[in-house]
Amino acid sequence: MQRTGLLPIVHTVLLVLVLGLIALAMVMFDRQHETLRAIDANLARQSEALVRLSDGLRERPAPRTAAAAETAETNPAFGRILSVRDNPDYAPGDWRVSSIPQQIGKLTPVVQTDGYQRRVEALVLEGLIQRNPETLAFEPLIATGWTISDDGLTIAYDLRTDVCFSDGSPLTSEDVVYTLNLIKDPKINNPALKTYYEVVEGAVAEGPHRVVFTLSEPYFQALSFTGGFGILSKDWYGRFTAEEFNEGLGLLYGSGPYRLEGDPEDWQPGPSVELVRNENYWGPTPTLDRIVWRVISEDAAELVAFRNGEIDSYAVRPEQLARLRDDADLNEKAEFLEITDVSSGFSYIGWNQQRGGEPTRFADRRVRQALTLLLDREEMASQLMAGTVDVINGPFSAGTDQADPQLEAWRHDPQRAKTLLAEAGFEDRDGDGVLEDAGGVPFTFTFIYGAGSPTTQLQAGYIKDALARAGIQVELEPLEFNTMINRINDRDFDAITLAWGGSIESDPKQIFHSDSIADGGSNYVSYRNEELDALIDEARVTVDEAERTAMWHRVHRILHEDQPYTFLFNRKGYAFVDKRFKNVDVTKTGLNPPTEQYVPLAEQRY
């Protein structure tokens, strides 16, 4: 009876065990099923990746030539960058922090508005070719080489096969064609830039790594403008309409050694602009982790920031040179550099010849000549600029073949100026010391200039006083940069002082040809001279260098006589650079870029 009583208990236990084993088996099966599903999903992802890789390989055929197979490390364009990497103290890392005097309002390329934007853009975008800073000759960058037809109407470039944008996607000839089409698109707001590309009819991609440009006529800067523009990604930029592109603030994305931090679509103007290393860069790994521009609008605050180590360089203003050159504290922490640049550009006073559709008093050449004669630019250079500038006689850089060596700058001559003004109908008719026209209207005008620079303020005050002595009343109106640009675009000013960047052989059509007056062009003083227009047009299509140089000299003489601008100065550059930066070098085109500089590990700050 006892054994019989145990049987139900044993049966129950066995049943529980069996049920438990069944449940365990089911759990194990579910887990195995989940594992198999995960494996299947992983295999699917790998399959998709292989498909993408296969597509990428089809988009990147084997190099066609030995030159195309050249590695980035042996590209001559990177010779200066790589030359210092065997130095015992070379190390990657650290930041390069600079200052700019005003906020950058826009970073979207092609519709660029100022030189500060171009500084940023130069580290994010790349062209097919670039200039060697010592020889000034063009050398390959993204291109491996190029050929120009005998008639000058066709230029073909072969592209490297290993170039990619910052997200790792390949850069091909289709991107080059897309960029040119964007530049020439009438819906894109870039009238000044379009001027340069009028003779470029188009480009076609002959395979993924060859692009051919065609021109309607020979153009002396064809190589520079077909090979020098920053290449944009068709896939990335093609998502935007023309309106979205025009209005976009930070649509900066390229193949260069640095990229915008974060999503370019989210970028907004602010107190700084920051670039970070492009980890996908196809060339030598960029040395510096980050490059920063901080807005410091006041000179005094900028100098304090440099002394405190908050920025790494400081451009010395002319009025500061004598005091700062021998400053013991500055010389202990920084290297003092005198910077020359064959393409440094020039400063000027622009006289607006048309306002509200009507000619102004500055439309009379005698008035413009007189205003130049009333300004003692040599005195301005020595007293206001501490001898850090040279007085100029026109827009072409002295020492280049483009400038006429026989011309001399107009000298200070108040008596001749008075005669010219009288011939133009301006005399002091009522004895109050102010010139009036034949209708008794006083000769007065408003002079606008950028706020924040003591040097510019000194120049404006000097100009006002010099003209007042001749009976001309000047009202000074300092403006924030963006406001001034808006006034220029609206042609809403009397006179203005600004500066143009230069080049080894510049194209004066953008700023002096009458075709550049309308549609927001850069001839915003509305200067017209039919003889000059014809000469510029002829010189631009003249391939023979000697013939073209003779034409540029005639252009120079006309501008010298007409004085659409009072041409002021070429500026010499002076700067302090923190001594922790090594391989800081002055080239023929100015200070070498931060991509060539480095900071030894022990001296790194960030």
Lowest-pLDDT range of 11-25, 333-347, 492-506, 581-595:
11-25
Segment 453-475 shows an average pLDDT of 95
Q: What is the pLDDT of residue 520?
A: 83
Q: How far apart are CA 587 and CA 73, in angstroms?
A: 22
Distance CA 600, CA 89 (A): 5
How far, in Å, CA of 129 to CA of 120, rounded?
18
The tens digit of pLDDT for each residue in 90-99 reads 999 999 999 9
Which residues are bridge partners to 448 per DSSP?
Answer: 477, 496
CA distances from 542 to 138, 218, 475, 545, 546 (A): 20, 7, 45, 8, 9
> Coil, helix or strand for 598?
strand
Q: Is pLDDT at 440 greater than 60 in this prediction? A: yes
Sheet holding 334-339, edge to edge: 313-315, 573-578, 334-339
> How much is the pLDDT for 11?
57
Identify the CATH class of 83-101+296-340+574-606: alpha beta
What tokens were used for 254?
């390229």
CA–CA distances in Å: residue 341 to residues 129, 345, 466: 20, 9, 31
Chain centroid to Cα 258, Å, comes to 14
- Alpha helices (H) in 197-241, listed in sequence order: 222-227, 234-237
Q: What CATH number was assigned to the domain covering residues 346-571?
A: 3.10.105.10
Exposed, middle or buried, 264 (CB in 10 Å: 0-12/13-18/19+)?
Answer: buried
Give the per-residue pLDDT at 14: 53
**Does residue 69 surpass a pLDDT of 80?**
no
99 DSSP β-pair partners: 294
Q: Which pLDDT does position 28 carry in this prediction?
A: 46
Cα–chain center distance at 287: 21
Which residue, 332, 321, 272, 329, is CA-closest to 299? 321
- Position 113 scores a pLDDT of 65
Strands 565-567 and 586-587, sheet pairing: unpaired
To which residue do tokens 């040395």 refer? Answer: 287
Q: What tokens were used for 245?
A: 């592109």
Rounded to whole angstroms, the Cα distance separating 116 from 326 reads 29
The fold for domain 103-259 equals Dipeptide-binding Protein; domain 1 (3.90.76)
Instruction: Determine phi and psi for 561, rounding to 5 degrees.
Output: -80, -40
Helix (H) or strand (E) holding 205: strand 200-205
Average pLDDT for 156-165:
97
If you average pLDDT over every residue of the chain, what do you get? 88
pLDDT at 342 over 60: yes
- 3-state SS assignment for residue 238: coil
When pLDDT is averaged across residues 372-392 and rounded to a whole number, the result is 93
pLDDT cut 90: percent of the chain above it: 73
Please give the sequence-ordered ranges of beta strands (E in DSSP) within 437-492, or none if there are none. 444-450, 473-479
377 phi and psi, to 5 degrees? -70, -30
CB 456 within 8 A of CB 318: no
The encoded tokens of residue 5 equal 């009583």
Answer yes or no: is pLDDT of 4 > 60: no
**Least trusted range by pLDDT, from 37-41, 198-202, 260-264:** 37-41
pLDDT band at 10 (very low <50, low <70, confident <90, very high): very low
Q: What is the pLDDT of residue 58?
A: 32
> Which pLDDT band holds residue 326 (cuts at 50, 70, 90)?
very high
Using an 8 Å Cβ cutoff, are 257 and 277 in contact? yes
Least confident of 317-321, 353-357, 470-474: 317-321
pLDDT band, residue 38 (cuts 50/70/90): very low
- Identify the pLDDT of residue 574: 92
Closest CA to 253 of 234, 227, 226, 273: 234
Lowest-confidence segment of 72-76, 280-284, 488-492 by average pLDDT: 72-76
Sheet holding 154-159, edge to edge: 143-148, 154-159, 210-215, 200-205
Average pLDDT of the segment spanning 583-593: 92
Region 530-544: mean pLDDT is 93
For 275-304, write each residue's pLDDT tens digit. 999 999 999 999 999 999 999 999 899 999
Residue 140 β-bridge partners: 129
Angstrom distance (rounded) from CA 434 to CA 430: 8
Positive or negative, the CA dihedral 307, 340, 385, 450 is negative
H or E element, residue 484:
helix 481-489
Ramachandran region of residue 95, left (φ > 0), alpha (ψ -120 to 50) or beta? beta
Give percent helix, percent strand, percent coil of the chain, each to the nearest 5. Answer: 40, 20, 40
Rounded Cα gap, residues 325 and 316, in angstroms: 9
Q: What ranges in 380-452 are assigned the alpha helix state H?
A: 414-423
Task: Report which of 66, 51, 41 is spatially closest to residue 158, judged by C-alpha positions.
Answer: 66
